[in-house]
A and B are shown apart, each in its own frame.
Chain A
């Protein structure tokens, strides 16, 4: 069936999420630059101690989640622009989502093994 279909009634949430996650990432970047300037990573031990703080682990996790959500919307938009066959596009969407969820799990493992 060859019909042009639009009207999925979503998009606002993604648009908003992309902006909110961008702000989270910007704030985290400033926080990290300040921490590094303050000597948080002056030695391997100092860095390890810094990353072992519960607060640092939580904000790092929030940063990672924001990054992956932001990337999900951006990469999905690229597939939507350039990949027209629905089957291939759905496959790419699923692979992208699975990869990002996997990265999120990996991030948790890295952050809390200290």
Chain B
């Protein structure tokens, strides 16, 4: 293990709509210390060196989902990406998440993404009177929600999906569909049929052709393709 500081090269997508006619790639290097284990640590040093660089970050531990970006061609969270995972000697290429409008540098406009998320009614629908304490589930029923509720809405998956690139206004996208299945699978939810009706559409659900880019990039190791498959399975059960 090296103990000395080292210099890391970056190639970063820069675009400030107030000053730049069009986006460009900036070559910049920064000296990092051995304690800078994650990409985000190096980016914080970059920001000190060039404070015009814009990117989102908050919790710095893979919970808030703010620092999603395209790292060497693959979407991921800067705070969960190890500096040791990069091949030495090659610049690290950082771009904003693909397919969404760029506000500035690595900051994208997530409006469309959240619009799709809201369209699946991401909350429990239950019209029964509230019980005195809580709505109970058996451990097996609760188990169904594992792999679904952990989504942090970082948008790595939806912005890696070509179907979402072509139809972001109509296709719900992997993140939204994972959330949709999270409520369809919830035994406390009473709106299963309405939720399936809401998704039965050539665009909203059936633009997914199971290419699994979403599974490939998910920083939480979730599987939206599997959830989408289960939605289709339920629709089929309902129809035959």
Contacts and interface: CB of A to CB of B under 8 A. Distances in A.
A9 B170 contact: no
Contact of B205 (A11, A13, A80, A82): A11
A80 B202 contact: yes
Contacts, number: 43
Nearest to B170: A6
Contact of A6 (B163, B166, B197, B201): B201
B232 interface: yes
B203 A12 contact: no
User: Which secondary structure characterizes the binding site on chain B?
Assistant: loop
Contacts of A13: 239
Given A8-B201, A9-B201, A14 B206 contact: yes
Interface centre among B198, B202, B236 (most CB of A within 10 A): B202
Contacts of B235: 12
B125 to A, nearest CB: 18
A15 B206 contact: yes
B204 interface: yes
A77 B232 CA distance: 18
Interface residues of A, number: 16
A13 B205 CA distance: 13
Contacts of B198: 7
A7 B201 contact: yes
B169 interface: yes
Among A7, A16, A82, chain B packs the most CB atoms within 10 A around the CB of A7
B200 to A, nearest CB: 5
B100 to A, nearest CB: 17
Contact of A81 (B166, B204, B232, B236): B166
Nearest to A82: B166
A106 interface: no
Interface of B: 163, 166-167, 169-170, 197-198, 200-207, 232, 235-236, 239
Interface of A: 4, 6-16, 77, 80-82
Give 9 closest A-B pairs by Cβ, nearest first. A11-B206, A11-B202, A81-B166, A4-B169, A12-B235, A6-B170, A6-B201, A9-B200, A6-B203
